[in-house]
Chain A
Amino acid sequence: MTLDQGLVRQLTRRLLGVVPTLLLLITVVFFLVRVAPGGPFDTEKALPPEIQANLEAKYHLDEPLLQQYFRYLGQILVLDFGPSFQYKDWTVNELIAQGFPVSLTIGGVAMLLGFVFGVGIGVGAALRQNSAADFTTMGFAMLGVSIPNFVVAPVLILLFAVYAGWLPAGGWDWSWRSAVLPVVTLALPVIAYIARLMRGSMIEVLHSNFIRTARAKGLPERQVILRHALKPALLPVISYMGPATAALITGSVVVERIFSIPGLGSYFVQGALNRDYTLVMGVVLFYGVLIIALNVVVDLLYSILNPKIAYEEL
């Protein structure tokens, strides 16, 4: 069996699996948001029943639930998420199209930094296992994992924006200056987490037989690490990165709020609180597709990095 055959077979199987998964996701979310008490147009100022009726008619909320459900499925087939109930001048597609590039930029850069620094620090610590440098970096990594970003972010803002005045305290204008603090805030825990993962798995790999063999053959240490140890040691990091990347590039609610960033993350919360059915459905579906796609990527990377895993097993 050649690699290509396996790849094609695997991809086909995964793509066929996507359809029922997404259908299930749509169905569950569709009914779940409608089960929540209160509706999109409930406000403190009670609307006269006539106005309420006009609004519901306009957004087809007066139709039977099943009819609404099939109407929605029909829309999804043509990739139309419908109008937002909350942001009335925009469609959900437009909101995602405006918010996603922002989240993708911040989350993508943060993930990249997380990977580069996390792997670097992790490998470094593993090679100097139990040294002072190892203890110090892992101590910081532990801190990085355990201090929540709603604590880190305000400290960064106070230091670099309010006191020093080097960077803006928030807001977003596509300049690198407005991206620095949110990216750092998001990257810190990722660096810390990946560093710990990497250190652990590197140490484990370094103790395995094939490394001992490589060393016994007299290969230089540099080659042992880079050519033989790094690939298998990356496996747990790669499997962590799939879902973590999906979560990061769809925006962090906390970081978006603290830095007033117009990304996608807040829509999950705002949409749910406002009972903005179409918006919630739109972002959840979008997130779902991203997770599935990134998991496929992870599996592919896995099989490339680890020859022990055959495609059939996936």
Chain B
Amino acid sequence: MISRRPVPGIGLALGVALLLSACGGEGESTPIDRAHRAQPVTPVFTDAGLPDPSVLAEEQVLHRDNGEEPQTLDPHLAEGVPAGNILRDLFEGLTAESPDGRVVPGAAMRWNISRDARTYTFYLRREATWSNGDPLRAEDFVYSFRRSVDPRTASNSANMLLPIENAHDVLVGRETPELLGVEALDEYTLQIRLSDPTPYFLALLTHSSTFPVHRASVEQHGARFSRPGNLVSNGAFVLADWQVRSRIVLTRNDRYWNAANTLLQRVVYYPFEDLSASLKLFRSGNLHWTYEVPNNQFHWLEQHYPDELVVSPWLGSYFFGFNLTREPFVADPQLRLALVLAIDRELITEKVTQFGEQPSFSLVPPGIGEYETQVPEYAGWTQAERNEEARRLYAAAGYGMDEPLRIEIRYNTSENHKKVALAIASLWKQVLGVQATLINEEWKVFLQNRSGRVLTQVFRAGWIGDYADPYSFLQLFRTNDGQNDYGYSNSLYDSLLEQVASERIPGRRRRLMQEAERVLLEEVPIIPVYTYVTKRLVDPHLRGWDDNVMDHHYSKHMYLLRSQNAPTPVAEAP
């Protein structure tokens, strides 16, 4: 017989206390750690604009959280932000970016663009070499562009290269890669011919699908060429170690043409997926740079880490889409407009997302050169006026308190999407009496349903620009685009985008895109909510980086300052 006794009171009380302290989490704990944090010295710069050696920390090792394990370090197969971050450190394309995001010369020191904007001639740096000492030649780029587009490579970012002449035919296997419009005129001169003038082409060349790979090592090691010990690269850093899902260590490439200006000795990338785990690692001094911060802790972070919290605009729009192929949204833009108007965006950005996201009524986020983001008239109204107009339109569409609109809002499983969808549903209910049901779906299921356009009514969407050009956003709504999950189709819009593609005069092209965005917004295929921000913690000792809308931060620009009282402030991470 087993005797069973009730749990004694003392254990229970202790347990409750432990549970309560645990539930408090970051929200209520006292940040004892903060008192121990050292402050960096004030930087002093040399005449060349570099930090004076006297202000630098002795140990130049950057510990950088990269969000997740990169899928690959083969630049031509890579997609996604984590791989992109590492590859921009390891490799260098024809162009690169400055800390504030401007396109600057990379492996090419200069270039010419023909009058018809279809032929680019790049002049490579003669001093540039591979990390094994081999010279970097125009032939390397020819080989690499062909490899990137070759169907046998099966790259999922090869569509970045579609502006290049014959790229599409090569990609589908209709032509051999040798016919791609990339040619070495001599050892150090590379010519690229485009099928359409593509004003953002120089920016595209900072994408990893255009990076050069070292032919001899690819041919020798095959799929294993991206392993430590095998990988030969041409960027400011080389791959030293790769422990899957633990760390990727890069060391300074002494053979990089600009190695004299690379201050960091080592960069350690961590794939920490859990945002609160990453926050704790930052707080205990193991990270200089987090990938993101937990969504619900803005106030705590703002209070306790005001110098470390960095929030800056990102080239992305957060919106919901309408399925225009299914009732009740097939015909009537008035009903869709009512739903767009009835959302108090400031309430959502201030109470729900909280990190300084900008309320938006448009598709294209602000911050792209001279492009003027199209803002509808009602953006200037008060929310009360918008609500009133929303009610009028809602009633005109035949709905009311007795006859409410019943719809489903679909989103992929995520705490943040859930909160935003919930806020929208309750605002609709409050203002219009709409009966909205929330449905969350696992990511792959969501993607399939969204592109299927059968089940969806209102669904979470959003887009982060691949390159800083409005076209990256506008192309999503072309009639037959693979990403047009809205079923939007407008011949005027399509023809405007066609004109954009072949227009080579920047001002005219910009006006065509503005016209297209205006046409789109008038038909209300989406519910814009806000523009994205990037939010992370950065150790104040880490300098040399700057905000940019692409959120591209090359480690080669960064360095660590010395602490005020200690020569080597930075503890080695575990």
Q: A142 at the A/B interface (Cβ < 8 Å)?
A: yes
Within 8 A of B (CB), among A103-134: 129-130, 134
Q: State the CA gap A250–B283 with chains docked (Å).
A: 30
User: Which residues of A sit under 8 angstroms from B226, Cβ to Cβ?
Assistant: 89
Question: How many residues does chain A have at the interface if contact means C-beta atoms less than 8 Å apart?
Answer: 74
Q: State the CA gap A46–B298 with chains docked (Å).
A: 33
With contacts A87-B69, A168-B574 taken as known, whether A45 is within 8 angstroms of B283 at the C-beta atoms is no
A106, chain B: closest CB distance, angstroms: 13
Bin the interface of chain B by size: 35 or more
On whether the beta carbons of A158 and B171 are closer than 8 Å, the reply is no
With contacts A89-B73, A140-B11 taken as known, whether A262 is within 8 angstroms of B243 at the C-beta atoms is yes
Q: A48 at the A/B interface (Cβ < 8 Å)?
A: yes
Q: State the CA gap A153–B451 with chains docked (Å).
A: 40
On whether the beta carbons of B15 and A50 are closer than 8 Å, the reply is no
Q: State the CA gap A172–B270 with chains docked (Å).
A: 10
Q: B155 at the A/B interface (Cβ < 8 Å)?
A: yes
With contacts A88-B72, A98-B243 taken as known, whether A275 is within 8 angstroms of B444 at the C-beta atoms is yes
Of the listed stretches B18-26, B39-47, B95-103, B388-396, chain A binds B18-26
On whether the beta carbons of B244 and A87 are closer than 8 Å, the reply is yes
Of the listed stretches A5-13, A201-209, A290-298, chain B binds A201-209
Q: A259 at the A/B interface (Cβ < 8 Å)?
A: yes
On whether the beta carbons of B447 and A260 are closer than 8 Å, the reply is no
Q: State the CA gap A173–B15 with chains docked (Å).
A: 33
User: Which residues of B sit under 8 angstroms from A274, Cβ to Cβ?
Assistant: 444
| Interface flags, B430-473, vs A, CB<8A=1, else 0 | 00000000000011110111010000000000000010000000
Identify which of A38, A162, A274 gathers the most chain B CB atoms within 10 Å of its CB: A162
On whether the beta carbons of A86 and B71 are closer than 8 Å, the reply is yes
B150, chain A: closest CB distance, angstroms: 9
User: Which residues of B sit under 8 angstroms from A44, Cβ to Cβ?
Assistant: 447, 483
User: Which residues of A sit under 8 angstroms from B274, Cβ to Cβ?
Assistant: 257-258, 260
Q: State the CA gap A55–B69 with chains docked (Å).
A: 21
Which of A45, A87, A170, A204 contacts B277, CB < 8 Å? A170
Q: State the CA gap A143–B10 with chains docked (Å).
A: 11
Q: Which residue of B lies closest to A139 (CB)?
A: B11
Q: State the CA gap A55–B12 with chains docked (Å).
A: 56
On whether the beta carbons of A177 and B244 are closer than 8 Å, the reply is no
Within 8 A of B (CB), among A133-170: 134-136, 138-140, 142-143, 146-147, 151-152, 154-155, 157-158, 161-163, 165, 168-170
Within 8 A of A (CB), among B370-395: none
Q: A51 at the A/B interface (Cβ < 8 Å)?
A: yes
On whether the beta carbons of A260 and B270 are closer than 8 Å, the reply is yes
Q: B158 at the A/B interface (Cβ < 8 Å)?
A: yes
On whether the beta carbons of A163 and B33 are closer than 8 Å, the reply is yes
Q: A43 at the A/B interface (Cβ < 8 Å)?
A: yes
User: Which residues of B sit under 8 angstroms from A203, Cβ to Cβ?
Assistant: 1-3
Q: A308 at the A/B interface (Cβ < 8 Å)?
A: no
User: Which residues of B sit under 8 angstroms from A90, Cβ to Cβ?
Assistant: 244
Q: List 9 A-B contacts (CB under 8 A).
A: A36-B445, A46-B481, A50-B151, A51-B156, A87-B69, A94-B244, A138-B11, A170-B280, A170-B281
